[in-house]
Amino acid sequence: MKINRIAILGGGSAGLLAALTLRKQLPEMPVEVIYSEDLGIIGVGEGTTAAFPRHLFEYLKLDPGTFYKEAEPTWKLGIHFKWGPYPAGFYYSFQSEYKSKWPELSRNAGFYCEAKTEWMGMVSACMAKGRVFPRRPDGSPHFHKGHAFHIENKKLVGYLEGQCRKLGVVFTEGKMSQVERGGEGVEALVLESGARITADLFVDASGFRSELLGGAMGEAFESFDRSLFCDRAVIAGWPRGEEPLWPHTIAETMDAGWCWQNEHEHWIHRGYVYASRFISDEAALAEFRRKNPRIANEPRVVKFRSGRYRRHWVGNVVGVGNAVGFVEPLEATALQMICLECSTLADTLRDSLGEPPPSLVELYNQFNSRQWEEIRDFLAVHYAFNERVDTPFWKACREETALEGAATFVRFYQENGPSAIADAVLFDPNNSFGLEGYLAMLVGQGVEHAKPWVAPEGERRVWEERLKHYGDHAARGYTVQACLELIREGKVKLA
Ligand SMILES: Cc1cc2nc3c(=O)[nH]c(=O)nc-3n(C[C@H](O)[C@H](O)[C@H](O)COP(=O)(O)OP(=O)(O)OC[C@H]3O[C@@H](n4cnc5c(N)ncnc54)[C@H](O)[C@@H]3O)c2cc1C
């Protein structure tokens, strides 16, 4: 069937990113967003991966200046894991560090940090020193693209809605109360007001309600609960005082899960993700408050289940965002998945001249499902090896976590150590974590392997000197605040 008109149910980040992507990539396609003020949006989702700026500025070619002005992001270079046996934890940046090989050394960097090093390269040195961008020889900041963002959800949604309106997306407020089935799937959405919305393709961005994909189409949900045990989060924060504004997210081990710290310019956003099988809401809240005595707003509990619907695209319904799948934000991957779902949808419609044949729909489903599974597999590695605390939750994680697709690489690592030989063979080129991510998590958590190696004295010296150089250079770099000021004063041209 030819698709001439698209209706999107949902005005959260998923619905808005879908509308924006479709209008930008298919300017002739009318797009209508239906949303309910009563139901509101989930209102969380404040850390991104580097895929998010790539989607906005490279794929959609949106103006970075407008984004910085309206969304007011701060930069995120990666994650500081307070995880594993080393007291300082370890850094996982969006750049290649563990797998990179320096010309003066015989092996890739992962081999040299057996006796745990604080940082592994220039970017993680910046994270450790609280500097976002290093200084160029002329003194200016070296803005590189290996970063993601922290963005307050309200500001992100405001920015996305503004961009959608500029591009002619039609917004209809009202609660959908009935779905009329027909033809290949959905014929129309009926709102409580009686309005009837028809389209050729319906994008389900209704969040956890999954009104169309899980509801009307009855698609089966596949749980990830063999690998991921957490199912709740308690969320709160406080206004920034004298605390350093880190250029990264912090992920900190807790008794029955972990706690994030997202860095906004004027607000510190914390959330404890936990497993209700191991801790009650009250006990989780008490632990969260003990850890974060400065909490200034009323903490709220969000319930979730990890997993995805079997297919993303069923009949004339395509799910995007929480309506199709969810995993906890340990790698802050939801916005990345939304971008991917939206770009593959737009590309599919464009390449098929608006008439995607079954083979393309099947490919769409395969590709996007695999992306969800790759995230689940990577997160499983975060749980299966974290020995930082010995609570019932973490013992169960170490004993019971199903590694699923990560098992092959974990076995390779246990037999061969942090070798980069395997990169091209063991990882799909679309795997967004790849060898670098897996090495960061396995080396960082001190996972033992069968090929321990002590670098010869000469190589060890080169390694240490280079790390010292990175640390010194990073310490002279720019703080997040200093870079934000440069942008606001118009002293930096954003590419
Ligand atoms: C604890 C937690 C932490 C998270 N942290 C991160 C993070 O750091 N990074 C990240 O990328 N993501 C994170 N996420 C995921 C985040 O929720 C999503 O990225 C994002 O907000 C997408 O939400 P959504 O648009 O799919 O759903 P929602 O925001 O729930 O939007 C659903 C929309 O559908 C509408 N709707 C639903 N039913 C109807 C109806 N019947 N009629 C009319 N309208 C309807 C609603 O009104 C709303 O507009 C986190 C999620 C949780 C739970």
Atom of ligand 1 nearest to the CA of 10: 34
Query: Do the domain assignments include residue 166?
Result: yes
**Segments forming the whole domain that contains residue 36:** 6-42+155-222+311-358
What's the confidence (pLDDT) of residue 168? 98
pLDDT tens, position by position, 160-172: 999 999 999 999 9
pLDDT band with cut points at 50, 70 and 90 for residue 158? very high
pLDDT band with cut points at 50, 70 and 90 for residue 324? very high
- Report whether residue 257 contacts ligand 1, using a CB cutoff of 6 Å: no
Q: How far is the CA of 95 from the centre of ligand 1 (A)?
A: 28
Beta bridge partners of residue 78, listed in sequence order: 93
What is the percent of the chain with per-residue pLDDT over 90, rounded to a whole number? 94
Q: pTM, whole model, 2 decimals? A: 0.97
pLDDT band with cut points at 50, 70 and 90 for residue 388? very high
> Are 34 and 176 contacting, i.e. CB atoms less than 8 angstroms apart?
yes
Ligand 1, atom 52, residue with closest C-alpha: 44
Pick from 159, 157, 171: nearest CA to 12 = 157
- Report whether residue 315 contacts ligand 1, using a CB cutoff of 6 Å: no
What's the confidence (pLDDT) of residue 495? 63
- Report whether residue 12 contacts ligand 1, using a CB cutoff of 6 Å: yes
What's the confidence (pLDDT) of residue 422? 78
- Report whether residue 319 contacts ligand 1, using a CB cutoff of 6 Å: no
Q: How far is the CA of 130 from the centre of ligand 1 (A)?
A: 31
Query: Do the domain assignments include residue 407?
Result: no
Whether residue 1 is predicted with pLDDT greater than 90 in this model: the reply is no
Q: How far is the CA of 19 from the centre of ligand 1 (A)?
A: 15
> Are 77 and 127 contacting, i.e. CB atoms less than 8 angstroms apart?
yes
Q: How far is the CA of 69 from the centre of ligand 1 (A)?
A: 23
- Report whether residue 233 contacts ligand 1, using a CB cutoff of 6 Å: yes
Q: How far is the CA of 2 from the centre of ligand 1 (A)?
A: 29
Mean pLDDT, rounded, for 32-54: 95
Query: Do the domain assignments include residue 95?
Result: no
Query: Do the domain assignments include residue 261?
Result: no
pLDDT tens, position by position, 107-139: 999 999 866 678 999 999 999 999 999 999 999
pLDDT tens, position by position, 175-220: 999 999 998 899 999 999 999 999 999 999 999 999 999 999 999 9
pLDDT band with cut points at 50, 70 and 90 for residue 78? very high
- Distant-in-sequence contacts of 406-414, Cβ < 8 A, 24+ apart: 406/377, 406/378, 406/380, 406/381, 406/438, 409/438, 410/381, 410/384, 410/442, 410/447, 413/438, 413/439, 413/442, 413/447, 413/449, 414/447, 414/448, 414/449, 414/450
Query: Do the domain assignments include residue 48?
Result: no
Total number of domains constituting the chain: 1
- Report whether residue 325 contacts ligand 1, using a CB cutoff of 6 Å: no
Q: How far is the CA of 24 from the centre of ligand 1 (A)?
A: 22
Mutate to test the pocket of ligand 1, among 13, 34, 42 (most ligand atoms within 8 A of CB): 42
Pick from 458, 457, 409: nearest CA to 99 = 409
Query: Do the domain assignments include residue 74?
Result: no
Atom of ligand 1 nearest to the CA of 335: 11
Q: How far is the CA of 470 from the centre of ligand 1 (A)?
A: 39
Atom of ligand 1 nearest to the CA of 260: 8
What's the confidence (pLDDT) of residue 114? 65
What's the confidence (pLDDT) of residue 183? 84
Q: How far is the CA of 487 from the centre of ligand 1 (A)?
A: 30
What's the confidence (pLDDT) of residue 24? 98
- Report whether residue 34 contacts ligand 1, using a CB cutoff of 6 Å: yes
Mutate to test the pocket of ligand 1, among 79, 193, 206, 331 (most ligand atoms within 8 A of CB): 206
User: CB under 8 Å to 96, separation ≥6 — which residues?
Assistant: 121, 436
Q: What values do phi and psi take at 126, rounded to 5?
A: -60, -40
- Report whether residue 14 contacts ligand 1, using a CB cutoff of 6 Å: yes
- Tell me the C-alpha to C-alpha distance, in Å, between residue 458 and each of 108, 455, 463: 15, 8, 9
Query: Do the domain assignments include residue 410?
Result: no
CATH of the domain at 344: 3.50.50.60
CA 76 to chain centre: 11
Beta bridge partners of residue 249, listed in sequence order: 79
Atom of ligand 1 nearest to the CA of 38: 47
Ligand 1, atom 1, residue with closest C-alpha: 233
Ligand 1, atom 35, residue with closest C-alpha: 10
What's the confidence (pLDDT) of residue 116? 65
Mean pLDDT, rounded, for 304-318: 98
Quote the mean pLDDT of the chain. Answer: 96
Pick from 366, 367, 377: nearest CA to 331 = 377
Query: Do the domain assignments include residue 89?
Result: no
- Report whether residue 321 contacts ligand 1, using a CB cutoff of 6 Å: yes
pLDDT tens, position by position, 456-477: 999 999 999 999 999 999 999 9
Q: How far is the CA of 340 from the centre of ligand 1 (A)?
A: 16
Mean pLDDT, rounded, for 367-394: 97
Whether residue 83 is predicted with pLDDT greater than 80 in this model: the reply is yes
- Report whether residue 205 contacts ligand 1, using a CB cutoff of 6 Å: yes
Which residue bears the tokens 């450790």?
128
Question: What is the distance between the alpha carbons of residues 430 and 414, in angstroms, rounded to a whole number?
Answer: 24
What's the confidence (pLDDT) of residue 37? 97
- Tell me the C-alpha to C-alpha distance, in Å, between residue 493 and each of 35, 47, 221: 36, 24, 46
Question: What is the distance between the alpha carbons of residues 482 and 241, in angstroms, rounded to a whole number?
Answer: 16
